[in-house]
Structure 1
Amino acid sequence: MTAYKDLMAFQRETEALSGVAGMLGWDQETMMPDGAADQRAEEHGAMANMLHARRIDPRIGDWLATADAPDDVAAANLRQIKRSYERTMKVPATLATELAKTTSLAHRTWAKSRAEEDVASFLPILQKVVDLRREEAAAVAGDTDPYDALLDDYEPGATGAELGAMFDALRPRLVSLRAAILDQPAPVVLTGTFDEAGQLALSEKLAAAFGYDLTHGRIDKALHPFSSGSGLDVRITTRTEERDPFNCFYSTIHEVGHACYEQGIDRKHLLTPLGAGVSMGVHESQSRIYENQLGRSEAFTSWLYGQMRDVFSDFGVADERAFYGCVNHVSDGFIRTEADEVQYNLHVLLRFDLERALIAGDLAVGDLEAAWNDRFLADFGYAVDKPSNGVLQDVHWSEGLFGYFPTYTLGNVYAGCLNAAMRKAVPTVDADLAQGDTSAATAWLRENVQQFGGLYQPTDLITRATGAAPTEAPLLDYLEEKFRGIYNL
């Protein structure tokens, strides 16, 4: 056991330093002054270099060779450490450092380019990010698909081919359902303005309603909402739009889903490889089931309607049923994060195909905007009007997160499976949600998913929780039942 104890003591320090690096990223998005960007890039690079050195420390190989695993937790810790060690050994330290520095600078460039609707100013540094990630993918992949090597960073064990087949199965029913809905009269939509103070106050109430522990977290504003941290320090951000309070409310609930996953992990895994979510697909399953199957349900929106009337008085929606349709309004739109449940995954599939082509070298960075616009027009039937509604809308590629986008749809698939199982196990869910009480639903998720952290592999975790291997069918069935009811199809 000495080797295992020594390895875990070393790993605990690595996890703590990784948390510090994460806080640098949180600060960059929320508090950092604009003029600090160059220095922050150096700081990110220094942290990346130090963490890379720790993750390939030769003692790790020695410890792994001799460590015993007396139980499932130890075996899982060793599996996770070995996976990280073997992967990191393939990536030169200079490349890891350069990636961290470049993506830190690219993020600031993206934000400026987006604000100025100037794609050309972003392309040079995006080219550098793509080149570096291709280099990393080639180093890790060996004889396998380079895109799979990047995808494995976010969804261990998944392949682009497998996800492509799943997404191909999703597309026809989604397109058919969308076409049927858009032929029907639209529900009422919100009009008027909603002050920021009221939105943020109700946003905090929603976070508490879904179980977010603010004694171990905080809510700030950011251009692109996100969740950061793990264990005892898990922070979220949201955003406000004066004409669209749902943007704030459902961004908050979405990020609370991520945060509650991290806060729900068994504390015995704190500062170990098991002390964070096992994959981005599973992470996204929590944010999406909180946001959609719970937060956009007819039961919960009936409670939210009363809360909005308390804050904003009469805001032009006659009753709870009309409000339910308003929250779940299906309409044309450019922005993925604002998309309704029916069309959301079509936005993700566009990005998945484009980034696979970028990494494979089949699509040049200079042609990305045109490729995006052509694909969007083909998929949605109308043209992108400006870059911030198109290729510049997402932060992910500026941060080098190639392989991340498909986990959003995979998370929706997992959420569909979990929702079906949860509702069988907890028949009072809707009665509880109508009172603004999410505790039974979130307790089931915490018991069956969240508490385990990285103990089980992603598909094994979903299978254990639901009793069946994950498929797209429960998600599609849920969407069709819900939206056929709303639109009287």
Structure 2
Amino acid sequence: MNAGNALSTLVEFQHTTEALSSVAERLAWDRETVMPRGAAEQRSEEVAAMEEMLHARRTDPRVPEWLDAARPETPAETRMVELIDRDFRRASALPSRLATELARVTSLSHGIWADARAAEEAEDFLPTLDEILALKREEADAYVAAGFGGGDRYDALLDDYEPDTTSADISRLFDAMRPRLVALRDAVMGADYQPAPLSGHFAQEAQLRLTRKIATAFGYDWNFGRMDIAVHPFSSGRWQDSRITTRVVESDPLNCLYSTIHEVGHSGYELGIDSDYAFTILGRGVSMGVHESQSRIYENQLGRGRAFTGWLFDRMSDTFGGLSSPDADAFYGAVNRVVPGHIRTEADEVQYNLHIMMRFDLERDLITGKLAAEDVNEAWNARFLRDFGLAVDRPSNGMLQDIHWAVGLFGYFPTYALGNVYAGCLNAALRDAVPDLDESLAGGEAEPAVEWLRENLQRHGSLHPPRELMERATGSSVSEAPLLDYLDAKFGEIYGL
């Protein structure tokens, strides 16, 4: 086979693999939104069958032959070959039995986790967590044997979500961030001024109507998406079908509104990728850290800024017939209150990364075997009390609040904090590039920011490695300093520090 035919055959083969992967993703979306609860066992078998088929394609013995014969001529073709080769090596490291069993068990465990969470019984989930951990350790060991992770189990899993980043890199980053975050938190909580929370009753249908308007303001294209309710908000899909979910608490509309903006950031990334990359390995977000940078900059630097919250104050006042916040300044304070709390997804910008740091340490110990599943509830509660000064009152406020471990996403958590760091770098560059941005945001128009992000980051998909992509977008090396400087300035101004 000549080089041209090898490359075109490889790309065509990958086209079908990507299409099937998208179908599998839709099965997962359906499971968490509209699937009948009694269908969990059937769905686990369907997901396992899809994974068996995908694993067979990803490890097809013809793939290395096509890779050897291919002669890419453009940067995009070179990157495609590089990523397909990497996927082949990672997939080939796993026996088909293990890949299929992981898919089956983590699909079934979703319902077990949800039931344990609803019943506030951590013990009901621990046997399933132990089974998942055994499979994930076996998976990590297989990757290590194939040369991934530098001999470290956790790094071998982390590499799946943030390529070329190690736990040592993450530890250094967290060590640099923690002192300033803790100092800022202590100063804010000790400040004389403390914003009043938003109070009242906010009907679900009214929240969802307003949420749709906000998603539209952030560029969400409803021709290619939809919004549903989920226990744990997420986005799903790519190319021409990227869906979002949210959750509604009728005493806390900010939960719904900002969960939605967050997921629109994820979905906007996928919908913003160059259409030429559809059904190719380039047509996806390059890493979870980069993905999270989009959701966090949409939600925080844009959505929680003074300019946009001024517009939102008027919309919410109209929607709900007035607010407990007397004016836009008070509402801005309410949106950005720094308060003790158990829930990561509801945490303020100052404390959010501290939640991630705790999870990173715990899940690394779970994967290495230093911490057993049967001890994780106690370990979580002790660490939370130490880090946040709060006792965990129930499992849904503790180890059962996040879905990640239930579906096998070990190595995922640190990418949330890395995404915040990336978002800090992007925000600094965006503000330099679009100096009148706040004027648009004050009118409820986020399009200038969305366009800049789409042009400088989103459209590239996986064309560039994560750090290179960030440096191309911002013109600077990645650093935690822009994020920490932004937090000090923003919360120092709100709290009069």
TM-score band w.r.t. shorter chain: over 0.9
1:14 deviates by: 0.3
Q: Deviations over 1:200-239 (max 9, x none)?
A: 0000001100001110000000000000000000000000
Alpha-carbon deviations, 1:159-198, whole Å to 9, x = none? 0110111011110000000000001232011111100011
Q: What CA distance in whole angstroms lies between the structure 1 residues aligned with 2:132 and 2:213?
A: 39
Q: Does 1:384 align with 2:392?
A: yes
> 2: CA distance between counterparts of 1:392 and 1:310?
37
Deviation per residue, 1:73-109 (Å, 9 max, x gap): 1011111100000111110000000000000111110
Aligned: 1:314 with 2:317: no
| 2:379 alignment partner, SS class | helix
In the alignment, is residue 175 of structure 1 matched against residue 178 of structure 2?
Answer: no
Q: What is the distance in 2 between the residues matched to 1:468 and 1:146?
A: 32
Structure 2 counterpart of 1:202 = 210
1:157 aligned partner: 164
Counterpart-to-counterpart distance in 2, 1:95 and 1:296: 43
What is the identity, as a one-letter code, of the residue corresponding to 2:256? C
In structure 2, which of residues 452, 457, 466 is the aligned counterpart of residue 458 of structure 1?
A: 466
- CA distance in 2 between counterparts of 1:225 and 1:74 reads 35
Structure 1 counterpart SS, 2:243: strand
Is 1:279 the equivalent of 2:266? no
Aligned position for 2:94: 91
SS, match of residue 242 in structure 2: strand
Task: Determine the C-alpha separation between the residues in 2 that align with 1:324 and 1:192.
Answer: 17
Letter in 2 for 1:97: T
Letter in 1 for 2:195: P
Give distance in 2, aligned partners of 1:242 and 1:103. Answer: 31
Structure 1 position 476, deviation (Å): 0.2
Report what 1:288 is aligned to: 296
2:22 alignment partner in structure 1: 19
Whole-angstrom CA distance in 2 between matches of 1:450 and 1:200: 27
Which one of 331, 336, 341 corresponds to residue 328 of structure 1? Answer: 336
Q: Which residue of 1 aligns with 2:155?
A: 148
Deviation at 1:316, TM superposition (A): 1.3
Corresponding position of 2:106: 103
The Cα offsets for residues 339-376 of structure 1, whole Å up to 9 and x where unpaired, read as 00000000011100000000011111111011101100
Tell me, in whole angstroms, the C-alpha distance in 1 between the residues paired with 2:392 and 2:195. 24
Q: Distance in 2 between matches of 1:233 and 1:16?
A: 12
Q: Distance in 2 between matches of 1:428 and 1:262?
A: 26
CA distance in 2, matches of 1:97, 1:55: 13
1:240 aligns with 2:243: no
Task: Give 1:368's match in structure 2, choosing from 368, 376, 379.
Answer: 376
| Secondary structure in structure 2 of the residue aligned to 1:89 | helix
2 CA distance for matches of 1:365 and 1:471?
35
For 1:418 and 1:315, the matched residues in 2 are separated by 33
SS in 2 for 1:235: strand
AA in 2 matched with 1:321: D
Alignment of 1:324-473 (within 5 A): 324-473=332-481
Shift of the alpha carbon at 1:382? 1.5
Which residue of 79, 83, 86 maps to 1:80?
Answer: 83
In 2, the alpha carbon distance for the partners of 1:314 and 1:208 equals 23
Q: Give the aligned residue type for 2:244.
A: I
Partner in structure 1 of residue 126 of structure 2: 123
Give distance in 2, aligned partners of 1:338 and 1:449: 27
Deviations 1:15-48 (CA, angstroms, capped at 9, x unpaired): 0000000000000000100110000000010000
Match of 2:226 among 212, 218, 234: 218
Q: Distance in 1 between matches of 2:402 and 2:17?
A: 30
Q: Which residue of 2 aligns with 1:2?
A: 5
**Aligned counterparts of 1:35 and 1:441: Cα–Cα separation in 2:** 43
Amino acid at match of 2:111: R
Aligned residue identity for 1:45: A
Matched residue of 1:153: which SS?
helix
TM-score (norm 2): 0.98
Which of the numbers 186, 191, 200 marks the counterpart of 2:194?
186
Unaligned 5+ runs, structure 1: none
The whole-number CA distance in structure 1 between the counterparts of 2:390 and 2:104 is 37
Q: CA deviation at 1:469?
A: 1.3
Unpaired segments ≥5 residues, structure 2: none
Contact kept, 8 Å, 2:198 with 2:331, in 1: the verdict is: no
Residue 68 of structure 1: how far off its partner (Å): 0.8
**2:36 maps to which residue?**
33
Q: Secondary structure at the match of 2:245?
A: strand
- Structure 1 residues 137-176: Cα deviation after superposition (integer angstroms, max 9, x where no partner): 0000136111011001111111011011101111000000
Q: Deviations over 1:377-432 (max 9, x none)?
A: 00001211110000000000000000000000000000000000010011011111
Q: Aligned letter for 1:167? A: F
- What's the offset of the Cα at 1:258? 0.2
The equivalent residue for 2:308 is 300
AA in 2 matched with 1:125: T
Distance 2:85 2:437 in 1: 41
SS in 2 for 1:234: strand
Q: Which runs of 4+ in 1 moved over 4 A?
A: none
- Distance in 2 (CA, whole Å) between partners of 1:123 and 1:159 is 28
CA distance in 1, matches of 2:151, 2:422: 26
Task: Give the alignment's Cα RMSD to 1 decimal.
Answer: 0.6
Compare 141-150 and 330-339 and name the one that shifted more: 141-150
**What secondary structure is seen at the aligned counterpart in 2 of 1:152?**
helix
The amino acid that maps onto 1:385 is D
How far residue 467 of structure 1 moved from its aligned partner, in angstroms, is: 1.1
- Given that 2:377 and 2:399 are in contact with CA atoms closer than 8 Å, whether structure 1 keeps it comes out as yes
Cα shift at 1:315: 1.6
Matched to 1:101, the amino acid is: R
1:114 aligns with 2:121: no
> Matched residues in 2 for 1:113 and 1:382: separation?
22
Q: Give the structure 2 partner of residue 227 of structure 1.
A: 235
Count of residue pairs brought into register by the alignment? 489
